[in-house]
């Protein structure tokens, strides 16, 4: 069994940041929903809420690390978190 190098993965798997065709950066957000779903969204700076992929509940988004500057990854690699 061989492991894939980071070169075999899309860049956002490594950086946690997707860049849209218009240049907008979207940052990885981990969410936990009250229905039991745990998932990910990629969100732009200023996103206030996301929806659960399963039940559709809207959940408030918070920075994973408090900062006045650009988003910073937490110890688990997420820039934002949402708990519903």
* pLDDT given at position 5: 58
Q: What is the DSSP string of 25-68?
A: EEEEEEEE-TTS-EEEEEEETT--EEE-TTT--EEEEEESS--S
Between CA 63 and CA 31, with CA 40 as vertex, the angle to 5 degrees is 55
pLDDT of residue 1: 45
Would you say residue 84 lies in a domain? yes
User: Where residue 8 falls among pLDDT bands split at 50, 70, 90?
Assistant: confident
Domain that residue 82 falls in: 31-84
**Structure token pair of residue 10:** 């899309």
The pLDDT tens digits for 38-70 are 999 999 999 999 999 999 999 999 999 999 999
* 1 within domain boundaries: no
On whether residue 48 sits in a domain, the answer given is: yes
Number of domains observed in the structure of the chain: 1
The residue written with tokens 């779903």 in the block is: 37
């Amino acid at each position: 069994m061989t492991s894939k190098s980071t070169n075999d993965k899309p860049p956002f798997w490594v950086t946690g940041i997707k860049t849209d065709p218009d240049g907008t950066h979207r940052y990885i957000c981990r969410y936990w929903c009250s229905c039991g779903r745990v998932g990910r969204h990629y969100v732009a700076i200023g996103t206030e809420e996301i929806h659960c992929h399963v039940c559709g509940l809207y959940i408030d988004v918070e920075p994973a690390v408090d900062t006045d500057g650009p988003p910073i990854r937490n110890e688990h690699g997420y820039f934002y978190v949402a708990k519903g």
